[in-house]
Amino acid sequence: MTTAGDIMHRGAQWIPAHETLDRAAQLMRELNVGALPISDENERLCGILTDRDIVVGCVARGHDPAKITAGDLAQGTPRWIDSSADVDEVLQEMKGHQIRRLPVIENKRLVGMISEADLAQHLTDEQLAAWVEGVYARSLAG
């Protein structure tokens, strides 16, 4: 059985909710990632911040990224998966919520992240095609 822990990339880092978006963008550049999980003061997942969130939710609206925090953009219920979850559960979670990145948690701690690139490296062509259709088809139709 292939698990979330098998396909994730390790080394994912939190961005604290109180941290500014300019700092988040710098951290994304340093880590070469397009998304960061957002943690509250108790190091619990409270959202995910993407590079697109920074551009569309802050810069394009004329706001100063040095004054807006990651927590200001955290919306909705964050999705995550346990490291022991089967890859089918990972795909179902991502398709069901139309998300392209999924934090992986083990013993209530962030241990990794699953992205589209991780899926492309570990899934069969059929699994990947079904995932793409499930995540992208509805967003393109709407």
What pLDDT, on a 0 to 100 scale, did the predictor assign at position 138?
A: 56
Which pLDDT does position 77 carry in this prediction?
A: 82
At 136 the pLDDT is 81
Would you state the pLDDT for residue 1? 81
CA distances from 122 to 7, 8, 35, 78, 91 (A): 6, 9, 20, 24, 12
CA distances from 39 to 1, 14, 19, 71, 128 (A): 30, 6, 10, 8, 30
Please name the residue that has the structure tokens 């069901």: 96
Extract the tokens encoding 69. Answer: 């925090």
Residue ranges per structural domain of the chain? 4-141
The CATH architecture of the domain made up of 4-141 is Roll (3.10)
pLDDT of residue 108: 84
List, run by run, the mean pLDDT of 10-residue segments along the chain (142 residues): 92 92 96 91 89 94 96 87 95 90 91 92 86 73 49
Residue 72: in which H helix or E strand, if any?
Answer: helix 70-73
